[in-house]
Chains A and B, each alone.
Chain A
Amino acid sequence: MMDSILVLIGAMLRIATPILFGAMGETLIERAGVLNLGIEGTMLLAAFNGFVAAQLTGSLWIGLLAGALTGVLLCLLMGGLSVTLGLNQHVSGLGITLLASGIALFAFRILYGGATTPPALADSFQPLNPFPNTILTPVFEQHWLTYAALLSVPLVTWLLNRTTFGLRLRSVGENPEAADTAGINVYRMRYQALILGGALMGIGGAFLSLAQLGAFAHGIINGRGWVAIAVVIFGNWQPNRVLAGALLFSGVQALQLRLQAAGVALPYELLLALPYVLVIAAIALVGRNISVPAALLKPYRREG
């Protein structure tokens, strides 16, 4: 019994990793006033570019860097459209998701043809095992990126709440006019949030291709970007609560996998859908009380 609970926790942490990276990136960006619906496509293209770079150079680290850079570039594009040009954030973000997904699938076809089995890396990131052959092994035998994802939560909290940078970032997401009056460059702040957040999203995507799967497949992201957006709202834009949301989500998913593997006859899809329904219910219950960044979705236009 204890064993299976520990295995479950281990699976939960593994499943939470890409979602956490994405959600922390999205939190930073949304706190600065930009809803980035490009996250789904950004994570997909980052997973792909990370994979290709690792395969070409033989270095997983260069792959990870390529993934992060992909995230940064696509978020800069999001900034160009939604911050500089002040275009509708929903449509720009969805456009970026569609564009990045299209490019990833197009490039996959060119590089790997119509391969039915996904190409795999000769060598992928291996899990660390700090407590070998103990009862704790299934919990702690994780990729270092999983530890990094967990660590990113207090880091983002600290960045947002304890630094001048965070104060400024929040101020352009809450009241850009006042921030501007106080001498903060709203555009630059939003770009900085997008760069940081983009790198996190990119790493989240690359985690899947470089560590968890060691391969690339079309459905590798499979809605994890949307889940990240959902848990950001579920977590009320607070990193700690976002973590709770991500763990809840991945916990249910881990349970579902376990039940399915144990051959329990359950419509497992309904369990998979449960976290989404929970998020919607949470949003509905909290309703207007959620502390959405006041300037979210509002492009800032400087007068004059």
Chain B
Amino acid sequence: MLNLKIEREPAPLWLRLLIPVIAVVVTFALVSVLILWAGASPFDAVYQLLIHPLTRTSARADILMMATPILLTGVAVAVAFVCGYYNIGAEGQLYAGAIFAAWVGVNAEGLPPVVAIGLMLIAGFLAGMIWALLPALLKSWLSVDEVVTTLLLNSVMLFIVSALLNGPWRDPVSGWPQSPTIALNAQFPVLIARSRVHLGFIIAVVSALSVWWMLARTRFGLELRAIGKNREAAQFLGIPVRRRVLTAALISGGIAGLAGVGEVGGIHYYLIGSLSPGFGYTGIIVATLGALTMPGVMLSALFLALINRGAISANRELDVPVYLSDVIQAALLLVTLAVLLLNRYRIRWGR
């Protein structure tokens, strides 16, 4: 009788390289049920999702614009996850950065743009760090699980944003719950003419590259990876585990804060409650799909942005609800996690 054997062996290289492809194919096969339900052909939908956006200049620019916040949150999440700190709070940290950035931006009248934008970035990074500080301290002092504290602080942050926008920051002119518009000199320059790709994209790429360098080339990065691989062994080797994890958590919060700065400074020019449709959570998908490595994170941020843009095309051309991209991204996350097991196990057919 033929039976399936699963052995704990590293998979051969060709299989490891094939994993993302398998994951994408399986995901689209699963999601095609929803596409058929929406009355469209899955093949047309795949074309609209993955190919069509790449054929147009404006859509290609949109992809870079859409990749900006999720690349930053993806990098933020990856920095924390690498050392085993499960920061689920990127969403709240993003809003913290957005609040500070909006405050600096509104009050930046008369400053040279470089100074205004520089101050916004610093303030946003600091704000993200501050919002990440409490769970990080609780983790390192009291070993309180960070998942729940960071998750709950996301809700608290949404209330703070709402309190600000309905209270002191309510736009005095329109009366809408949105902050005043930031000064003209604080608005991010646009990188590509007639698009909304802004300075934030460069900041995101620079952040990813810096973190890449930090993880690969510095002692601190090496220690973080060691802690993530085996906490006890790292402790035994004399690495100050708690301090390193605390630092990584703060860097993570700061980078997530930058994502909020980018949305305020480059897209909306004011703070609103719906600034982020869950970029912090998407960051978890980006980081996981990228296997917590920076080249992977950059690729997966671009890929998810492609799907987001493609979903808009699919919505226009095929009338498939735009929420398709949410479903695909979540399904891709779960399928990838499952398929990644192939990395660790070898499947054998034998007698």
CB contacts (< 8 Å) of A273 on chain B: these are 155-156, 159-160
Is A110's CB under 8 angstroms from B159's CB? no
CB contacts (< 8 Å) of B152 on chain A: these are 226, 230, 276, 279-280
For window 75-101 of A, CB contacts with B under 8 Å fall at: 81, 85, 87-88, 90-92, 94-96, 98-99, 101
Q: A98-B281, A283-B149 are in contact. Are A276 and B338 (CB under 8 A)?
A: no
Partner of B337, one of A95, A110, A272, A277: A95
Question: Does A263 belong to the interface (CB within 8 Å)?
Answer: no
- Alpha-carbon distance between A98 and B162 when the two chains are bound, in angstroms: 23
Is A94's CB under 8 angstroms from B156's CB? no
Q: How many residues of A contact B (CB 8 A)?
A: 41
- Alpha-carbon distance between A105 and B167 when the two chains are bound, in angstroms: 31
Question: Does B75 belong to the interface (CB within 8 Å)?
Answer: no
CB contacts (< 8 Å) of B156 on chain A: these are 273, 276-277
Chain A: which residue is nearest B148 at the CB level? A233
Interface size bracket, B side: 35 or more
Sample of 11 A–B contacts (CB below 8 Å): A81-B338, A94-B88, A96-B330, A98-B278, A106-B34, A106-B324, A106-B326, A230-B148, A269-B160, A272-B159, A283-B148
As a 0/1 sequence over residues 280 to 315 of chain B, the CB contacts with chain A under 8 angstroms (1 = contact) are 010011001000000000000000000000000000
CB contacts (< 8 Å) of B166 on chain A: these are 267, 269
Question: Does B134 belong to the interface (CB within 8 Å)?
Answer: yes
Is B159's CB under 8 angstroms from A95's CB? no
Partner of A267, one of B145, B163, B323: B163
For window 319-341 of B, CB contacts with A under 8 Å fall at: 321-324, 326-327, 329-331, 333-334, 337-338, 341
Is B334's CB under 8 angstroms from A226's CB? no
- Alpha-carbon distance between A96 and B34 when the two chains are bound, in angstroms: 17
- Alpha-carbon distance between A105 and B277 when the two chains are bound, in angstroms: 13
* Closest Cβ–Cβ distance, residue B262 to chain A (whole Å): 22
Question: Does A130 belong to the interface (CB within 8 Å)?
Answer: no
Is B341's CB under 8 angstroms from A85's CB? yes
Question: Does B142 belong to the interface (CB within 8 Å)?
Answer: yes
CB contacts (< 8 Å) of B153 on chain A: these are 276, 280
Question: Does B51 belong to the interface (CB within 8 Å)?
Answer: no
Question: Does B349 belong to the interface (CB within 8 Å)?
Answer: no
Is A102's CB under 8 angstroms from B323's CB? yes
CB contacts (< 8 Å) of A87 on chain B: these are 337-338, 341
* Closest Cβ–Cβ distance, residue B170 to chain A (whole Å): 12
Question: Does B151 belong to the interface (CB within 8 Å)?
Answer: yes
Question: Does A155 belong to the interface (CB within 8 Å)?
Answer: no
Is B330's CB under 8 angstroms from A95's CB? yes
